[in-house]
């Protein structure tokens, strides 16, 4: 398998974390679609990353679909519960919250790189507010628990690691660690995992 992506995309990082955590052999190919010679559109007609190229040449795109597929390939660990509909919903809901943080952080990033006179402050405020509320909710739900859901690592944890790492990259001024020390402690513990160390290293 080949995972096509970039080192800064939080969605690519989420997909990488799933593959790494489950020890699925793959090659990580850096090919940002913004580059003039990018080959991403050969695999994904939308021209977006991540894109997972299977050994038969077929392609899976969108981090959520990649995670769903990869989780079926082995049982160590099972990242999306299979036999409990409510547990599965809670993990996917956690993923959706983390993905929403990524979505809003990217909107803010795109606004901020526009010329100052063209930036829409209302849009920045709207999405920064969504991020703040999501972090508050996740922090309250997590409390002092070891994992986002259940008694082991899940897709919700991997998605949240990706979201928080992206905030560190693009919004260092937010200082979410001071606002949510339990999230900071959780993140610091998760980042000691080999899969997270590899994904955060680029």
Provide CATH 1.20.1050.10 ranges for the chain: 85-193
CA 193 distance to own-chain centroid: 16
Which CATH superfamily is 2-71 part of?
Glutaredoxin (3.40.30.10)
DSSP code of 1? -
Provide CATH 3.40.30.10 ranges for the chain: 2-71
- Which single residue is written with the structure tokens 């905030």? 167
The pLDDT of residue 202 is 78
Which residues partner with 114 through β-bridges? none
Q: Are 99 and 64 in contact (CB under 8 A)?
A: yes
The pLDDT of residue 131 is 98
Residues of the chain with pLDDT under 50: none
- The pTM score is 0.96
Alpha-carbon torsion, ordered 87, 3, 61, 7, to 10 deg: 90
Three-class SS state of 90: helix
Three-class SS state of 72: coil
Q: How would CATH label the architecture of 85-193?
A: Up-down Bundle (1.20)
- Which single residue is written with the structure tokens 């509909």? 85
The pLDDT of residue 114 is 95
């Amino acid at each position: 398998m080949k995972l096509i992506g970039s080192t800064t995309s939080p969605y690519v990082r989420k997909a990488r974390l799933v593959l790494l955590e489950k020890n699925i052999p793959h090659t990580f190919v850096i090919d940002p679609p913004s580059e003039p010679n990018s080959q991403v559109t050969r695999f994904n007609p939308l021209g977006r990353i991540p894109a997972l190229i299977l050994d038969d040449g077929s392609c899976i795109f969108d981090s959520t679909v990649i995670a769903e597929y990869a989780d079926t390939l082995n049982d160590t660990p099972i990242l999306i519960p299979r036999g409990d509909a409510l547990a599965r919903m809670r993990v996917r809901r956690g993923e959706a919250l983390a993905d929403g943080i990524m979505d809003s952080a990217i909107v803010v990033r795109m606004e901020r790189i526009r010329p100052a006179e063209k930036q829409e402050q209302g849009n920045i405020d709207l999405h920064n507010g969504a991020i703040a509320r999501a972090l508050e909710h996740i922090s309250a739900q997590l409390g002092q628990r070891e994992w986002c859901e259940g008694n082991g690592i899940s897709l919700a944890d991997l998605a949240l690691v990706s979201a928080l790492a992206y905030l560190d990259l693009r919004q260092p001024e937010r200082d979410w660690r001071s606002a949510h020390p339990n999230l900071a402690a959780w993140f610091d513990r998760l980042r000691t995992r080999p899969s997270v160390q590899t994904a955060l290293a680029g």
